[in-house]
Amino acid sequence: MHLKWRYILPVCTFLILLPLYCLAFQGKVVGVSDGDTITVMHDGKGEKIRLYGVDCPEKAQDFGQKAKQFCSDMVFGKTVDVESVVTDRYGRTVGIVRINGKCLNEELLRNGFAWQYKQYCDKSFCSEWKKLEEQARSSKAGLWSQPNPTAPLDFRHGGKGRNSQPAMLSSGDFHGNVSTHVFHSSTCKAYNCKNCTEVFKNREDAIKAGYKPCGSCRP
Catalytic center residues: 50, 58, 92
CA distances from 194 to 126, 180, 190 (A): 29, 12, 9
Q: Measuring CA to CA, how many Å separate 157 from each of 141, 181, 209?
A: 25, 14, 20
In the chain, the amino acid numbered 8 is I
Q: Closest Cα partner for 36 from 16, 57, 60, 10?
A: 57
Report how far residue 132's alpha carbon sits from residue 129's, in angstroms, rounded to the nearest whole number: 5
Check if the beta carbon of residue 92 is closer than 8 Å to that of residue 50.
Answer: yes
**CA 169 – CA 101 distance, rounded (Å):** 38
Are 150 and 142 in contact, with CB atoms under 8 Å apart?
no
Among candidates 112, 108, 12, 111, which has minimal Cα distance to 53? Answer: 108
